A = this chain, B = another copy of it.
Amino acid sequence: MGSKAHDILLRNLELHLQLTSEEVDAVTALPIQLAQVERGDVIVREGDKPETSFLLVTGFACTFKVSGAGDRQIMAVHVPGDLPDLQSLHIETLDAGVSAISACELGYIRHTDLRQLCLEHPRIAAILWRLTLIDAAIFKEWVLNVGRRSATQRLAHLICEIYVRLDRIGLVEQGICSIPLTQVELADCTGLSVVHLNRSMQELRANGLVRWHGKTVEVPNWQNLAKAGDFDATFLHLKPSANWLWT
């Protein structure tokens, strides 16, 4: 107990609420089963009925669905610390798949253990609930993004979101971070064709808003990119209010 996976999980939880030492102990005592997956692997599929949820310890993953015509739409990008299928704790059947965008380390946690933790520690239950609500907030923003923004805006907005979330977990240095998404995947995030996504990317580059080569992404001027992407980080709910759970 007390592995790297526990550390990542605790760090994520404590971004939302300062835990008591009993709470920290309870989380640390959680059995976590480690596993690895390769880039492109499907971790869980739509229709699965898992009895565990997994913590993304390292690497990138995405939540996706496939239309009847066979087109893929990605609806969430996951970064280390995320619990991409936590919803399965209270909804038996998965309504979307999760696949690995890069090689990933995963930590599987049994639902029975999570339920027990929630019963004994209602504040942890509240944080986990909150995490799923933030996921929902991101989905809403994506509906707006895909439904009402231009191709360039969509891409800029997506880059902003990933950038902010990476920054939060310390994965951005001097405006540079590593984002292992291919243009095919970016297209599937934004509801565009690959060709058009490529042209949108070139437009961002031409305007000096991003430098994206391979996996290395540089944002020379955050303000400009945020403006181009109609991006306002409020929907990410990065900070809980001081008096959450106290009123």
Residues on A lying within 8 angstroms of B by beta carbon are 47, 49, 51, 63, 65, 67-69, 71-73, 75-76, 87, 90-93, 95-96, 111-112, 115, 118-119, 122, 125-126, 129-130, 132-137, 139-144, 146-149, 190-191, 230, 234-235, 237, 240-241, 244-245, 247
Contact = CB atoms under 8 A, between A and B. Distances in A.
Nearest to A239: B92
B247 A51 contact: yes
Nearest to A128: B129
Contacts of A191: 143, 146-148
Given A122-B119, A140-B95, A90 B234 contact: no
Pick from A134, A139, A147, A245 the residue with the most CB of B within 10 Å. Answer: A147
A231 to B, nearest CB: 9
Contacts of A72: 148
Given A67-B230, A122-B119, A139-B139, A90 B130 contact: yes
A91 B130 contact: yes
25 contacts: A51-B247, A65-B140, A67-B230, A71-B148, A73-B148, A75-B143, A76-B140, A87-B133, A87-B136, A87-B137, A90-B129, A91-B134, A91-B137, A93-B237, A93-B241, A96-B137, A96-B140, A112-B247, A118-B122, A132-B133, A136-B139, A142-B143, A143-B143, A143-B146, A143-B191
Nearest to A126: B90
Contacts of A67: 144, 148-149, 230
Nearest to A68: B230
B143 A244 contact: no
B234 A93 contact: yes
**Residue of A87, A96, A130, A133 most packed against chain B (CB within 10 A):** A133
Contacts of A87: 133, 136-137
B139 A73 contact: no
Contacts of A65: 140-141, 144
Contact of A140 (B63, B132, B133): B63
